[in-house]
C-alpha cells in the first residue's frame, strides 16, 4: 500500500475529500456572510439559523407535501430568502443608522428565536433526510470509494460560488453592489434604489445559507442546532479570509476545510482547533484578514 509520511494513501485521500466537502459548506456560508457584511455592514449571526432553515424547509416540504430533494433545492432557498427579505425590510433596516453592534445583537437574537422555536417543535435530535435516488450509491475512484452525493455537493458548491462571484464581479447589478459597498449615498444620488439593493443582498446571502442547508440535509442530519455548530467555524473562516472579500471568502472556505481534513490525518487531536489557531495567527499578523483591505 502506498504510504505518505507514514499515512496510508486511501486514508489521506479520504480525509482530504471530507475536508473538501466541509470546505464546500464553509465556502458557501462564508460567501453569504461576506456578501452581507460587504454591503450592509451587518455581521449576520442569523446565518447559521438561515442554513438550518434551508435544511428544515426541505425536510418539511418532503414530509408534509411530498416535494423531494430536487425541487426543494430551488424552492427552499427561495423561501429562506423571502423570509429574510421580510425580516430585513421590517426590522434589520431600522438598525443601519445605529452602531454596527446593534445589527449583530439583532441577528444573534433572531438566531436564538428561530433555533429555539424549532427545538421546541422538533427536539434537539436530528431528523434523517434521504439522499436523492439519482445520487445514491458511489463510485470507485481506484484509490477510494466516493459516495456520489458527496461528489455532487463538491461540484455544486464550486458552481454556485463561481456563479455568485461572476454575478458580483462581472454584471451591472454586481457593479451597483460593489459601488454601494464603497459609497452608498453617491450610488443612491445617481438614482439607484439602494434600500432595495440592501434587501436583495440580504436575501441573496440568506438564500445561499438556505441552499447550503438543503445540500447538507442528506449528509448531516436535519437538526435545529446544525447551524449554530457550524457557524462558529464559518465566522473564523471569514475572519481569516478578511471581511467583505468575496473571492477571499470562497478560497479560504475550501482551503480551511482541506487543512482541517489533513489535520485529522496527521494530528487528529488538533483537528477541532486548527481553524481557530490559524485565525489567531492571522489576527496577529494581518488583522484585516488574508484577502481583506485595511479599514
Of 15 and 245, nearer to another protein (C-beta) is 245
CB 33 to another protein: min, Å = 18
Site string for another protein, 194-213 (x = CB under 8 A): xx------------------
CB 175 to another protein: min, Å = 5
CB 198 to another protein: min, Å = 12
Of 188 and 221, nearer to another protein (C-beta) is 188
Q: Which helix (H) or strand (E) holds 8?
A: strand 7-8
Of 10 and 195, nearer to another protein (C-beta) is 195
Residue whose entry in the numeric block shows the C-alpha cell 485565525: 279
Distance CA 148, CA 201 (A): 32
Give the C-alpha distances (Å, rounded to integers) separating 206 from 4, 61, 230. Answer: 41, 19, 15
Question: What is the gyration radius of the CA atoms in the chain, in angstroms?
Answer: 19
CB 185 to another protein: min, Å = 6
When asked if residue 99 is in the footprint of another protein (CB under 8 A), the reply is no
Residue 116 C-alpha cell reads as: 429555539
CB 91 to another protein: min, Å = 21
Of 196 and 273, nearer to another protein (C-beta) is 196
Residue whose entry in the numeric block shows the C-alpha cell 429555539: 116
CB 105 to another protein: min, Å = 24
**Secondary structure string (H, E, C) spanning 123-154:** CCCCECCCCCHHHCCEEECCCCEEEHHHHHHH
Centre a 10 Å sphere on the Cβ of residue 166 and count the other Cβ atoms it contains.
11
Site string for another protein, 157-196 (x = CB under 8 A): ---------------x--xx-xx-xxx-xxxxxxxxxxx-
| Total residues binding another protein (CB under 8 A) | 19
Distance CA 250, CA 248 (A): 5
Give the C-alpha distances (Å, rounded to integers) separating 229 from 79, 157, 226, 234. Answer: 22, 20, 6, 10
Of 3 and 186, nearer to another protein (C-beta) is 186
CB 25 to another protein: min, Å = 27
Of 35 and 110, nearer to another protein (C-beta) is 35
Distance CA 200, CA 82 (A): 9
Of 218 and 289, nearer to another protein (C-beta) is 289
Chain contacts with another protein (rule: CB under 8 A): 172, 175-176, 178-179, 181-183, 185-195
Amino acid at each position: 500500500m502506498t504510504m505518505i509520511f507514514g499515512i496510508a494513501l486511501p486514508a489521506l485521500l479520504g480525509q482530504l475529500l471530507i475536508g473538501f466537502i466541509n470546505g464546500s459548506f464553509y465556502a458557501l456560508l462564508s460567501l453569504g456572510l461576506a456578501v452581507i457584511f460587504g454591503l450592509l455592514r451587518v455581521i449576520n449571526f442569523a446565518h447559521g439559523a438561515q442554513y438550518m432553515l434551508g435544511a428544515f424547509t426541505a425536510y418539511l416540504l418532503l414530509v408534509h407535501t411530498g416535494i423531494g430533494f430536487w425541487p426543494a433545492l430551488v424552492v427552499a432557498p427561495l423561501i429562506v430568502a423571502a423570509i429574510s427579505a421580510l425580516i430585513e425590510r421590517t426590522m434589520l433596516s431600522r438598525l443601519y443608522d445605529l452602531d454596527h453592534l446593534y445589527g449583530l445583537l439583532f441577528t444573534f437574537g433572531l438566531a436564538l428565536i428561530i433555533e429555539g422555536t424549532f427545538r421546541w417543535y422538533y427536539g434537539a435530535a436530528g431528523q434523517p433526510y434521504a439522499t436523492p435516488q439519482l445520487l445514491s450509491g458511489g463510485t470507485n475512484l481506484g484509490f477510494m470509494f466516493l459516495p456520489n452525493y458527496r461528489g455532487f455537493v463538491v461540484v455544486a458548491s464550486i458552481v454556485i460560488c463561481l456563479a455568485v462571484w461572476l454575478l458580483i464581479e462581472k454584471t451591472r447589478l454586481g457593479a451597483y453592489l460593489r459601488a454601494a459597498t464603497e459609497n452608498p449615498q453617491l450610488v443612491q444620488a445617481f438614482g439607484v434604489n439602494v434600500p432595495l439593493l440592501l434587501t436583495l443582498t440580504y436575501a441573496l446571502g440568506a438564500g445561499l445559507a438556505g441552499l447550503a442547508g438543503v445540500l447538507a440535509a442528506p449528509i448531516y442530519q436535519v437538526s435545529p442546532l446544525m447551524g449554530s455548530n457550524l457557524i462558529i467555524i464559518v465566522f473564523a473562516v471569514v475572519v481569516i479570509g478578511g471581511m467583505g472579500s468575496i473571492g477571499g471568502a470562497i478560497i479560504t472556505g475550501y482551503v480551511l476545510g482541506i487543512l482541517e481534513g489533513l489535520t485529522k490525518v496527521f494530528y487528529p487531536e488538533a483537528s477541532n482547533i486548527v481553524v481557530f489557531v490559524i485565525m489567531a495567527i492571522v489576527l496577529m499578523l494581518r488583522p484585516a484578514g488574508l484577502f481583506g483591505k485595511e479599514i
